[in-house]
Homo-oligomer: A and B are copies of this chain.
Amino acid sequence: MAVFRYYQIVRKHILKRIESGELSPGSQLPSERTLCAELDLNRNTVRHALQLLQREGQIFRLERRGWYVSTRRLVYNPAKHVNFARLASSQGFEARWTTKDNGVIEVSPEMEDEAGFPSGTNVYEMENDFFLDNQKVAHVVSHLHAERLKDIVPKTVSRALTQVVQEEYGISLLQRRLLIRPVLLHKQVTDMLGLSLGAPGLYVRRVKTDERGAVLSVEQEYWRYDAIELRVDAE
């Protein structure tokens, strides 16, 4: 038997309402104070339960807006090249994304580790936000080799990166050094995703090179914790 804890009462109360369909995916939970009144418990206890449910991936919260029921996860294979929109729609999601072109920047020594480019390289910087069923679920920062992939940024709007590079630049991109790490999302990212500071997330870094191993692109993806599930189907 589970030990008796008040926060487990809150947790199970909410889980039951999610399972029964009373709280549907994407809908907002009652306010914390309403839950306190319903269950006659202190707000600190209720918040403890809500944070547990968040870390379970059952609910998420938007900064100062409240708590929401998580939707199903996008199944995502980070080792394969993917076109985000096609992947999402093949799984029945309504997908869209925004693009922000930050122009050319020079890779600084401090960035080198994260970016994979030698410092001093000129790269295009591009930021994308991904939406699933109208919810922002990922923030992506991409760096692309500016000299080797001149004027590539506008070309990636409608086609996948690998495809553009192959067709327009005659270079075969290879996926290298894929890194996956659960993280606490930083302020810059939580702001972008509208989440509360300290929200859990998943960090995925994908480095692509040409056939000689020279780095041509680095994508850094920050996903809402409950929005994806990673699968790698080898062979």
Contacts and interface: CB of A to CB of B under 8 A. Distances in A.
Interface of A: 2, 44, 52, 55-57, 78-79, 174-184, 187, 198, 200, 202, 225, 229-235
B178 A234 contact: yes
B52 A234 contact: no
Given A79-B79, A200-B200, A178 B55 contact: no
Residue in A182, A184, A187, A202 whose Cβ sees the most chain B Cβ within 10 Å: A182
Nearest to A231: B179
A180 B174 CA distance: 22
Contacts of A78: 232
A52 B184 contact: yes
15 contacts: A55-B184, A56-B183, A56-B184, A57-B182, A79-B234, A174-B235, A176-B233, A176-B235, A178-B234, A179-B230, A180-B180, A180-B231, A181-B229, A181-B230, A182-B202
Identical copies of this chain, number: 2
B182 A225 contact: yes
A180 B73 CA distance: 12
Contacts of A175: 234-235
Contacts of A225: 182
8 A-B pairs with the lowest CB-CB distances in the bound complex, closest first: A180-B230, A182-B182, A178-B232, A175-B234, A55-B184, A56-B184, A79-B232, A79-B234
B232 A55 contact: no
A214 to B, nearest CB: 15
A235 B198 CA distance: 35
Given A232-B79, A233-B176, A57 B183 contact: yes
Contacts of A231: 177-180
A178 to B, nearest CB: 4
A235 B183 CA distance: 26
B229 A232 contact: no
Contacts of A2: 187
